[in-house]
Amino acid sequence: MIKRLTLLLALTIYSGAVQGAELAALHRAAASITASELQGHVDVLADDSFEGRESGSRGGRAAGMYLLKQLEQRGLRGGGDDAGFFQSFGEGYRNVLGFLEGSDPELKRQIVVVGAHYDHVGYGTRRNSYGPFGYVHNGADDNASGTAGILETVDACLAMPAPPKRSILFAFWDGEEKGLIGSKHWVENPTTDLANVAFVINVDMIGRMQNRQLDIFGSRTAAGLRRLVSEVNYGSNLELKFNWELKANSDHHSFISHDIPALMFHTGLHGDYHRPSDDAHKVNAEGMELASRLLFGVAYEVADRDDLGSFRSVARSETPTVQQQLEQPLPALPPRFGVRWFSDDQGPGLLIAHVERGTAAERAGLLVNDRLIEFAGKKVMDQDQFRQDVLFAESHVEMVVVRGANEERAELAVDLDGKPTRLGIAWREDAGEPGTVIVTRIVSGSPGRAAGLQVGDRIYAVGNQPFTVGRDLYDKFTTLPSPIELTIERKGRMTSVSLEIPPPRG
């Protein structure tokens, strides 16, 4: 049986540290992020009056002024040059930066950068537009949507009873469309000590969500990020696509190239990408709300949790191909026994309908129309129980069948294939996600299959208890009483499954 995690269960797993009152505050703060406010920011930023927000242009500078006012109104401190909000560079380009000081006396020295680029391509040229050129490219999705998401995240952070332990630098990058030059300029001329930057969250295009799907890049750049994002996602229930590709396609890359872990949120490319038709009325405001609430939850969690992993340089070589290999299912196991029976037969035992070639059952001399009445010293009464007995049994098993018109009893011995298994599942560990495993095989007829577990599911807890390595998980599987509750994540969604294991008979 599969069910949505209840809030209560989520509470017990949510980073293990978030307590009831804080969780309620997080919910309230997330709920302050609304589709209409997000749409309002997009409507302003993607208005023709901003002329496509090209860096250094009249419209681009006007957009910078809008963001400056927004940050000032919210009472943030300037995070730019000379305690102001701007960091100027290039030909009239400006990053807009606001600073929220952390609440922990030690950890506040560390900084989480939460940002989005606010520039776009102006009127478009052959170099930066798919055309037609010469018209205002409003960039509603790219990236008024991400800019709006950051503004709303600022509000949600300020709605919390206290800031997170670490400080947050909210960043609106200029010059992204000219080659990430705003974020590159910042890492080369940081307005705070770069060594204190512990983490980066980048939002680029969250305005075109479809089917509640969201792409997450960068989850391999520190250990446990997939789990972190998924656990926060229990409130939004988005389908998360963790994409391992690390490309210089947006501002998070400027930080990854300085060995700083980073995540990027993105709802995907579309036909209006870098065209004049990327307009405000086409964004999915409800989708922005979902993405921005998750963004806030992740940003707050990253900034507030005690332990934040350091940069995993191996992430650079963990390509989507490596991901495929890691998540690849194991081939199905051959059956241990190898028979089918008439399921509507009234018994006694099981009336054999088919003996598969090359299986243990064939080697044992079992025949079609045999009635299997004893297996491993026990009467065969129930199909489910029999399946379970086959999975549990040691290799060598004695059987009794009733055969032929005279119903003669025959005693047969069988050497079952494979090893005995209790749950019928196999799994693989993932060095990037310690304390979790990926389900790689589910034996048919097993409790794992009956529970609705799927290949590719990630197991995060057993009986509400975390585990450290696969061996630890194995011990729990062999000792915990039935039913065994598994906390699993499937495509970023937290669920639980309950494995019913018939007790071994005898």
Considering only the stretches 84-92, 137-145, 279-287, 366-374, report the one whose residues sit in contact with Zn ion under the rule CB under 5 A. Answer: 137-145
- State the Cα–Cα distance between residues 160 and 299, nearest whole angstrom: 13
Segments in 189-314 forming alpha helices (H) = 225-232, 252-256, 285-304
Q: Among residues 51, 54, 141, 142, which is the contact residue for Zn ion, using CB under 5 A? A: 142
Toward Zn ion, which CB reaches closer, 174 or 430? Answer: 174
Toward Zn ion, which CB reaches closer, 116 or 160? Answer: 116
Q: How far is the CB of 270 from Zn ion (least distance, A)?
A: 13
Place of tokens 């209409």: 36
Considering only the stretches 143-151, 368-376, 405-413, 448-456, report the one whose residues sit in contact with Zn ion under the rule CB under 5 A. Answer: 143-151
- State the Cα–Cα distance between residues 251 and 269, nearest whole angstrom: 17
Considering only the stretches 18-26, 141-149, 307-315, 372-380, report the one whose residues sit in contact with Zn ion under the rule CB under 5 A. Answer: 141-149
Q: What separation in angstroms does the CA of 150 have from each of 74, 156, 204, 231?
A: 13, 10, 10, 21
Considering only the stretches 4-12, 136-144, 313-321, 474-482, report the one whose residues sit in contact with Zn ion under the rule CB under 5 A. Answer: 136-144
Toward Zn ion, which CB reaches closer, 143 or 191? Answer: 143
Give all strands (DSSP E) within 118-194, no chain letters.
Answer: 167-173
CA dihedral for 416, 421, 425, 429, sign (positive or negative): negative
Size of the site for Zn ion (CB under 5 A): 3
Q: How far is the CB of 264 from Zn ion (least distance, A)?
A: 10
Give all strands (DSSP E) within 376-442, no chain letters.
Answer: 378-379, 396-403, 408-415, 425-429, 437-442
Considering only the stretches 142-150, 195-203, 294-302, 338-346, report the one whose residues sit in contact with Zn ion under the rule CB under 5 A. Answer: 142-150
Toward Zn ion, which CB reaches closer, 54 or 204? Answer: 204
Q: Are strands 371-375 and 350-355 parallel, antiparallel or unpaired?
A: antiparallel
Record the tokens describing residue 422, joined without a space. 């209790």
Q: How far is the CB of 467 from Zn ion (least distance, A)?
A: 40
Binding mask 189-218 for Zn ion (x = CB under 5 A): ---------------x--------------
Toward Zn ion, which CB reaches closer, 174 or 318? Answer: 174
- Phi/psi region, residue 318 (left: phi>0; alpha: psi -120 to 50; beta: rest), is beta
Toward Zn ion, which CB reaches closer, 141 or 370? Answer: 141
Q: How far is the CB of 64 from Zn ion (least distance, A)?
A: 16
Q: How far is the CB of 141 from Zn ion (least distance, A)?
A: 8
Record the tokens describing residue 455, joined without a space. 């290949």
| Whether the Cβ atoms of residue 443 and residue 449 lie closer than 8 Å to each other | yes
143 binds Zn ion, rule: CB under 5 A: yes
Toward Zn ion, which CB reaches closer, 6 or 125? Answer: 125
Residue 434: asked if its preceding bond is cis (omega within 30°), the reply is no
Number of Cβ within 10 Å of residue 325's Cβ equals 11
- State the Cα–Cα distance between residues 238 and 166, nearest whole angstrom: 27
| Whether the Cβ atoms of residue 246 and residue 316 lie closer than 8 Å to each other | yes
| Whether the Cβ atoms of residue 295 and residue 203 lie closer than 8 Å to each other | yes
Toward Zn ion, which CB reaches closer, 52 or 78? Answer: 52
Q: How far is the CB of 119 from Zn ion (least distance, A)?
A: 9
Q: How far is the CB of 142 from Zn ion (least distance, A)?
A: 4
- State the Cα–Cα distance between residues 497 and 332, nearest whole angstrom: 22
Q: How far is the CB of 205 from Zn ion (least distance, A)?
A: 6
Q: How far is the CB of 256 from Zn ion (least distance, A)?
A: 16
233 binds Zn ion, rule: CB under 5 A: no
Q: How far is the CB of 272 from Zn ion (least distance, A)?
A: 13
Strand-pair partners of 437: 429, 459
Q: How far is the CB of 289 from Zn ion (least distance, A)?
A: 20
Toward Zn ion, which CB reaches closer, 143 or 167? Answer: 143
Residues in the chain, overall count: 506
- 3-state class of 164 per DSSP? coil
Toward Zn ion, which CB reaches closer, 269 or 314? Answer: 269
Site for Zn ion in 328-357 (CB under 5 A): none
- Phi/psi region, residue 133 (left: phi>0; alpha: psi -120 to 50; beta: rest), is beta
Q: What share of the chain is helix, strand, coil (3-state, %, to 5)?
A: 35, 25, 45
- State the Cα–Cα distance between residues 41 and 69, nearest whole angstrom: 13
Toward Zn ion, which CB reaches closer, 54 or 142? Answer: 142
Q: How far is the CB of 422 from Zn ion (least distance, A)?
A: 50
Toward Zn ion, which CB reaches closer, 142 or 152? Answer: 142
Please count the helices (runs of H) and the strands (runs of E) in the chain.
Answer: 14, 21
Rg for the chain, CA atoms, rounded: 29
Residues in touch with Zn ion (CB under 5 A): 142-143, 204
